[in-house]
Structure formats: structure tokens, C-alpha cells
Amino acid sequence: MKDTVTLPVSAPYYQPSGRECELFETSHENGLPLLLKGPTGCGKTRFVEHMAAKLGKPLYTVACHDDLSAADLIGRYLLKGGQTVWVDGPLTRAVREGAICYLDEIIEARKDVTVVLHPLTDNRRTLMIDRTGEELVAPEGFMLVASYNPGYQNVLKRMKPSTRQRFLSVTFDFPKPDLETAVVASESGLDSNRAAQLVRLGGHIRTLSGMDLEEGVSTRLLIYAATLMASGMNVTHAIEAAIIEPLSDDEDVQTALRDLVATVYG
């Protein structure tokens, strides 16, 4: 399991596209869990990092995956210096500290994870640690945030209504062109005109998603391409490395993407 803890610093750059910041703040004030829904690379994680820093709260981020179990979140006994000691997992540390815990792509985790989360997402706000016999009551300031990509749901990996309805929810999408241009330019250092051209290319590519592509190009990949260009790399090479190759291995799809690039940059 890979998890990270981020301590409060100056808020990372984030450009709001609606009232999501107000919703996050209100959820935090009232101890309500929040679910973020949206495609890969549209800014969900950056949003959580921005809000945690803005609120001055430590942030525990867990990248969920197929093997992530409840024990990975809660903690386990480990051998240290010849002794068996209990080591808290990221969720337990967040509860003890009144921090924010962010479970990224929650539907990738094993089913036993949701059993642990249910008491934390209702009026009980408790975390039961069976191995130690502790029952932690989440203090004021603790907040549970989760995210997932609805476009990748299938029969085997679908969030149950009983879990989904325990969260407030907000849908994220790729920013409007003017906002996305500002984000790409700010994050990469590329000038606004060339950033706008990249965003225009991204818009064309996204029209292919659902037909030839599983998903459209993310804002993250546009920033990568812009960063390469701002560093002096040729436009064609930058787009090839940061957009075309990451999006597909299919030669026909790659050819179609290169045709789009030629149209936008021709």
C-alpha cells in the first residue's frame, strides 16, 4: 500500500470551476464525508490537497488498489527490535489527529474496507480497532474524503448504494477551456497562447473518448506536455511523449491522434 501524509503548507494552485470549495468547507465544518466523482486527471486530488492546505489540516492520502485491505488502513502488529508493537494505519492516524483522510479510487479497494468506513460515515463517527479493542471517536476536524472514476465502473467494481449514500457527492469534469488554459499555463510555465492551443487539442481528443479511446486526455497530461514545451522541447515530440503514447498503444488510434495534432498545429 502506498500512502502519504501532507502537512499544512501554502495551498497548491487550484482553479475552482463551481462551488466545490464551499461544499468542502461546509462538509468539514459539520463532520460530513465527501465523495468526489470524475475522470482521471481532472483535478480531484489537487482539489483535496488545496483544501487541506487552505484549512490548515494534515492530509493522509491513500492510493487504493485491489489488495488494499481494512488492516492496511487501520493498522497491524509488527516486529520491531524483537518486540511486537502495534502500528497505526493512515486512517487510524487521521482519526486520532483529527486530520483529513483521502481514499483515492476507493472502489479499487477490497470489500472489507467499506465495512470499516460505515461507522465513520454516519452519526457514530467511530473507528473500531478489533486487534487492540479500541473504539476511537473521530474528533472535530476529522474528515473522510473519497474519490472514484464512474467511467471505469463495472459489475465487479461498483460502489454499493449503501456506501455511496453515506457521502455527500460532487462531480468533477475537465475545466472549461479558459480555466484549463490558466491551470496549464500556471503549472507548466508555458505562455498562455501555447497553453490555449494545447487545451484546444485536448478538447478535440476528448470527443474521441468512448469511441476510439477509453478516456479523453487528462488535464495532467496537458500539463506534462506544456512542461516539456516550456523546457524547450519540440512541440511534436512533447505531444508524442506526453499525450499520444500515454493514451493508447493502438497504432490506428495513435495515427488518428497525430492527425488531430496536425489539424490543430498545422
The DSSP-derived string for 119-145 is GGGSTT-EEEETTTTEEEEPPTT-EEE
Residues 11 and 131 in one domain: yes
- What digits encode the pLDDT tens for the residues 231-251? 999 999 999 999 999 999 989
Least reliable range by pLDDT among 48-57, 162-171, 198-207, 212-221: 212-221
What is the domain extent for residue 189?
A: 177-265
Residues 217 and 120 in one domain: no
Q: Mean pLDDT over residues 64-87, rounded?
A: 90
Residues 161 and 185 in one domain: no
Residues 34 and 144 in one domain: yes
Residues 133 and 23 in one domain: yes
- What digits encode the pLDDT tens for the residues 190-215? 999 999 999 999 999 988 765 567 77
Alpha-helix runs per DSSP H in the chain: 20-29, 44-55, 70-74, 90-97, 112-117, 161-164, 177-188, 192-206, 219-230, 235-239, 245-247, 251-265
Task: Quote the pLDDT of residue 214.
Answer: 73
Other C-beta atoms within 10 Å of 245: how many?
12
Residues 206 and 107 in one domain: no
Task: Quote the pLDDT of residue 146.
Answer: 96
Percentage of the chain exceeding pLDDT 70: 93
Residues 53 and 100 in one domain: yes
Residue 6 pLDDT grade (very low, low, confident, very high; cuts 50, 70, 90): low
Q: Is residue 12 scored above 60 in pLDDT?
A: yes
**Residue where a domain terminates, one of 107, 139, 171:** 171
Q: Mean pLDDT over residues 148-170, rounded?
A: 79
Residues 57 and 119 in one domain: yes
Task: Quote the pLDDT of residue 93.
Answer: 97
- Per the structure, the count of domains in the chain is 2
Nearest to 160 by CA among 20, 5, 35, 17: 35
Task: Quote the pLDDT of residue 209.
Answer: 60
Q: Is residue 155 scored above 60 in pLDDT?
A: no
Residues 163 and 205 in one domain: no
pLDDT, mean over the chain: 90
Residues 187 and 160 in one domain: no
**Residue where a domain terminates, one of 120, 149, 171:** 171
Amino acid found at 14: Y
Find the largest Cα–Cα distance for the chain: 67
Residues 35 and 121 in one domain: yes
**Residue where a domain terminates, one of 133, 154, 171:** 171
Residues 111 and 22 in one domain: yes
CATH for 88: 3.40.50.300
Q: Is residue 7 scored above 70 in pLDDT?
A: no
Task: Quote the pLDDT of residue 172.
Answer: 93
The most confident of the ranges 25-29, 119-123, 128-132 is 25-29
